[in-house]
Chains A and B, each alone.
Chain A
Amino acid sequence: MRTVRTSTIGETLLIVEDDILPAMSLRDELRDAGFHVLELTERVEQAVAAALDCKPALALVNIELHGRDDGIGLAREFKLMGIPVLFISGQQEKARSAKAVAIGSLAKPYHPKHMIGAVRYLLRHIEGDESLPRPAGLEVFDDHPNGNGAVPEAA
């Protein structure tokens, strides 16, 4: 019998974003909200290394990284590593086209407070806990998550 966590505070997050200023703002807001946010990454290799080092509970990934749509390939790799991905790109169509490798999308421009809400929701959602209301603007791709190996148990 596994226990469902009641708090998501202190969970480790990874941000992969090549726009450094929004990335910093997002990192600071998430840290203020009590999350453990890894050092910012902006390239695929960097992000994979960071994820291997310290497996995050959720990766926030921009699709376009340095002019290429590397975020989608990265999400595929993260899925193999068992790390759930939230796309944080303004390119909603591209995010939707890659819904097989991510668990959701919150499009730019987002308010960091909305991102905190989305992250809190998704961390519970991964555990099969749907007690939080789904935040506005958040698209959830997998309604029955098992991307993190966390299959909600039958009652």
Chain B
Amino acid sequence: MASSPGPLLLLDGDLNIVAVSRSFADTYGIDGATAVGRPMTGLGDGEWDVPTLHTLLKATASGVAEIEAYEMELRRPRRKTRCVVIHAQRLVYLDLKNDRLLVAASDVTEARADAKVRDDALRQNLILLQEVRHRVANSLQIIASVLLQNAKKTTSEETRVHLRDAHNRVMSVAALERLLSLSGEKGVELRAYFEELCESIVASMISDREHIRLFVTGDSGVVDARVSVSLGLIVTELVINALKHAFPEGRAGEIRVDCGFRGPNWTLTVMDDGVGMPSDPSLVRTGLGTSIVGALAQQLHAVVQNSAGNPGTAVMITHTQIALVDDGESPQDDAVVPVANVKGS
């Protein structure tokens, strides 16, 4: 025991010192030779005379308790306070009248300080990240306002439509960045995000067309930031598309954005009750919006399905990561990872 690498004390049942390991003497600046035979509370300058420790050791000596890890501060005059973790157990010898108590005292000061530095750094990083996201949202608002000014000033109707679409795309990302700057590492609540997105699209595209209603239904769920930015852009494209094509000549109707979550699987549906898609597939125009939706869905390992509503059109984006037993579906994704970690590659 004298040469044990960890600081150790051997006490008798009355908490008098029987032996002090060399590392204990070195670590805590104790003269081992003079300590033996004296009460443990008298060690050093009395810094080990801690009432709670004393009580715990007493309880351990009488066999009613065992100290697994009692953390305490060792306060010494003119020396730095150390952070110590105590472990104590009773040793029962059949040939001895008195029991022995083996006390291990690990100095964890450095480890605790490192952990604090790490925690502080982590917190600082988070604050910086929020600040960056806030700034990104502001920068995107600058770009969005230029696009909007541009749309107002142009004389070409076609250009105006393109600029408004671009404005909506920028705003969808800006809205997400702002939500992320508020939510921190938790990710974004998708339904609330879609509601905000739809508000923005309504403001820019249907203020003069009040016969069209746009709303969000479905589950609440949180996905990773990279997934939510893509989903936001998909919703933006699909809603813009429905607004442009589903309700010609002042036709009234509604557009519904629906989100569904089942564990790591999710489904996003945008449906309208408009005129529906042309029956001749060659008449279906594939614009920038369609290719954006296809590309983003592919990036999210999701499948796009177009179907005719009754009336109208429904576009469903499905991400199946784990086949659920009662769904009877096969997995489309080989890698089974939590949805929060899905990386768009």
The answer to the question of A136 belonging to the interface, with a C-beta cut-off of 8 Å to chain B, is yes
Q: Is the CB of B200 within 8 A of A28?
A: no
Chain A nearest CB, measured from B143 CB (Å): 8
Is A69 among interface residues, defined by CB-CB distance under 8 A? no
Task: From known contacts A28-B152, A113-B207, A114-B199, infer whether A22 and B145 are also in contact, taking CB-CB under 8 Å.
Answer: yes
Closest to A93 in B: B182
Query: Could you say which residues of chain B place their CB within 8 Å of the CB of A108?
Result: 137-138, 141, 174, 178
Number of B residues whose C-beta is below 8 Å from A? Answer: 24
Interface residues on A, range: 20 to 34
Q: A113 vs B181: C-alpha distance in the bound complex, in angstroms? A: 23
Q: Which of A28, A91, A114 contacts B203 (CB 8 A)?
A: A114
Residues of B within 8 A of A109 (CB): 137-138, 140-141, 144, 171, 174-175, 178
Evaluate contact between B148 and A25: CB separation under 8 angstroms: yes
Do residues A113 and B204 form an inter-chain contact, with CB atoms below 8 A?
Answer: yes
With A and B bound together, what is the CA distance between A21 and B150 in angstroms? 12
Would you give the shortest CB distance from B210 to chain A, in whole angstroms?
13
**Proximity bits, A107-122, B CB within 8 Å = 1, else 0:** 1111111100000000
Bound complex: CA of A142 vs CA of B200, how far in Å?
Answer: 25
A73 within 8 A of B: no
Given A111-B204, A114-B203, residue A90 in contact with residue B134 (CB < 8 A): yes
Count A/B pairs, Cβ under 8 Å: 61
B62: CB under 8 A from chain A? no
Q: Are the C-beta atoms of B199 and A21 separated by less than 8 Å?
A: no
* Chain A CB within 8 A of B128 CB: no
Interface residue ranges of A133-150 to B (CB < 8 Å): 136-137
Note all chain B residues with C-beta closer than 8 A to A54.
none
Q: In this complex, which of A26, A111, A136 has the most chain B Cβ atoms within 10 angstroms of its Cβ?
A: A111
> Are A28 and B181 in contact, with the CB atoms below 8 A?
no
**Contacting pair B199 A19 (CB below 8 A):** no
Q: Encode B114-153 as 1/0 by CB contact (under 8 A) with A.
A: 0000000000000000000010011011101110110010
The answer to whether the Cβ of A12 comes within 8 Å of any Cβ in the partner chain is no
- Shortest C-beta distance, A87 to chain B (Å), equals 14
Bound Cα distance A24, B138 (Å): 15
Q: Given A22-B142, A93-B182, A108-B141, do A113 and B203 touch, yes or no (CB 8 Å)?
A: yes
Query: Quick check: B207 and A25 within 8 Å, CB to CB?
Result: no
B203 near A25 (CB under 8 angstroms)?
Answer: no
- 28 A-B residue pairings within 8 Å (CB atoms): A19-B138, A19-B142, A21-B142, A21-B146, A21-B149, A22-B141, A22-B145, A24-B145, A25-B148, A26-B145, A28-B152, A90-B137, A90-B138, A90-B141, A90-B178, A108-B137, A108-B138, A108-B174, A109-B138, A109-B141, A109-B171, A111-B203, A111-B204, A113-B203, A113-B204, A113-B207, A114-B199, A137-B196
Q: Which residues of A contact B (CB under 8 A)?
A: 19, 21-22, 24-26, 28, 90-93, 107-114, 136-137
